[in-house]
């Protein structure tokens, strides 16, 4: 919009220049207008240059600056919980004053007259004479253990009485030697003989036969204590006699 008035001013400038009335004025040799042959070229240049500028401006494409593009924001919608409205304040309960039976300055008289603590009197009582150490006497004897039940001695089982007599030794029988063999036997809880010990004998053969028969054939009713069978020792005497037919 400012270029058109400028062009108009340039085009009207040569016509406004007039010579003074007194007569022609001499211009310098190299000044504009000193040579009348160059006036048309100068006028053409003065008019054509602004016109060309106007046409160039009119024909030039308008430069459009595109606005900067902004990328859309991506996000996730979050449902915000509705805030919980606070409960309206509850009216404070009216507290009725409690009637006191007595004020802080009231005093209560004790029904029992107590002696003042500042009294230094000593209460007299019965005189106790120290009798000295007391002799506890001899130590108590521990109680006796309860007596054991009575032992019932073992006896020969009558069912095996026929197998009691041992065989007569052949050597003593040929020599017609008679006598006895006294032994001590250990009877187990099952009534069998577990061991045989010699006490006395009239012949070694008598003890050998007695020992063999006792371990193999003798049976006893075992000894008992309180109804419970237990092992026991028993002395047995065996007689060897030659029977005359």
Tell me the CB-side half-sphere exposure of residue 78, using CA atoms within 13 A: 4
- 121 pLDDT exceeds 60? yes
With a pLDDT cut of 70, the percent of the chain lying above it is: 49
Partners of 224 in the β-ladder: 152, 229
Q: Which two tokens stand for residue 192?
A: 């069998």
Q: How confident is the model at residue 243 (pLDDT cuts 50, 70, 90)?
A: confident
Q: Looking at residue 194, what is its pLDDT?
A: 96
List C-alpha distances in Å: 86 to 83, 90, 93.
9, 11, 20
Report how far residue 71's alpha carbon sits from residue 241's, in angstroms, rounded to the nearest whole number. Answer: 142
Q: How confident is the model at residue 97 (pLDDT cuts 50, 70, 90)?
A: low
Could you report the per-residue pLDDT of 132-141, keeping only the tens digit for each? 677 777 888 8
Could you report the per-residue pLDDT of 208-237, keeping only the tens digit for each? 999 999 999 999 999 999 999 999 999 999
pTM for this prediction: 0.42
DSSP state of 34: S
Domain ranges of the chain: 1-11+34-57, 152-240
What is the pLDDT averaged over residues 68-94? Answer: 65
Report how far residue 37's alpha carbon sits from residue 43's, in angstroms, rounded to the nearest whole number. Answer: 12
Q: Which two tokens stand for residue 165?
A: 């007599």
Partners of 197 in the β-ladder: 184
Q: Edge to edge, what strands does the sheet with 228-230 contain?
A: 151-152, 223-225, 228-230
Residue 109, φ and ψ in degrees, nearest 5: -85, 130
Q: Looking at residue 74, what is its pLDDT?
A: 61
Q: Looking at residue 138, what is its pLDDT?
A: 81
Q: Looking at residue 224, what is its pLDDT?
A: 95
Q: Looking at residue 136, what is its pLDDT?
A: 77
Neighbour-count burial of 205, counting CB atoms closer than 10 A to its CB (0-12 exposed, 13-18 middle, 19+ buried): buried
Extended beta strands in 22-178, E state: 151-152, 155-156
Could you report the per-residue pLDDT of 167-192, keeping only the tens digit for each? 999 999 999 999 999 999 999 999 99
- Rg (alpha carbons) of the chain, rounded to whole number: 80
Partners of 152 in the β-ladder: 224
Please tell me which residue, 77 or 134, carries the higher pLDDT value.
134
Say what angle helices 3-16 and 39-59 make with each other, to 10 degrees. Answer: 170
Please tell me which residue, 159 or 57, carries the higher pLDDT value.
159
Architecture, CATH, for domain 152-240: 2-Layer Sandwich (3.30)
Q: How confident is the model at residue 34 (pLDDT cuts 50, 70, 90)?
A: very low
Q: How confident is the model at residue 90 (pLDDT cuts 50, 70, 90)?
A: confident
């Amino acid at each position: 919009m400012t270029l058109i008035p400028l062009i108009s001013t340039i085009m009207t400038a040569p016509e406004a220049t007039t010579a003074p009335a007194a007569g022609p004025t001499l211009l310098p040799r190299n000044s504009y207008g000193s040579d009348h042959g160059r006036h048309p070229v100068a006028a053409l240049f003065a008019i054509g240059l602004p016109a060309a500028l106007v046409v160039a401006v009119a024909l030039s494409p308008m430069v459009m600056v595109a606005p900067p593009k902004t990328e859309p924001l991506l996000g996730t919608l979050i449902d915000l919980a509705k805030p919980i409205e606070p409960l309206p304040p509850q009216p404070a309960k009216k507290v009725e004053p409690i009637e006191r039976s007595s004020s802080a300055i009231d005093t209560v008289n004790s029904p029992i007259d107590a002696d003042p603590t500042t009294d230094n009197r000593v209460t007299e009582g019965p005189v106790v004479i120290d009798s000295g150490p007391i002799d506890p006497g001899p130590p108590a004897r521990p109680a006796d253990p309860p007596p054991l039940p009575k032992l019932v001695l073992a006896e020969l089982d009558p069912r095996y009485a026929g197998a009691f007599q041992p065989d007569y030794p052949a050597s003593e029988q040929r020599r017609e030697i008679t006598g006895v063999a006294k032994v001590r036997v250990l009877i187990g809880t099952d009534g069998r003989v577990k061991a045989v010990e010699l006490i006395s004998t009239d012949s070694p053969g008598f003890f050998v036969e007695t020992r063999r028969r006792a371990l193999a054939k003798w049976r006893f009713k075992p000894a008992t204590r309180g109804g419970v069978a237990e092992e026991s020792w028993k002395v047995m005497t065996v007689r060897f006699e030659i029977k005359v037919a």
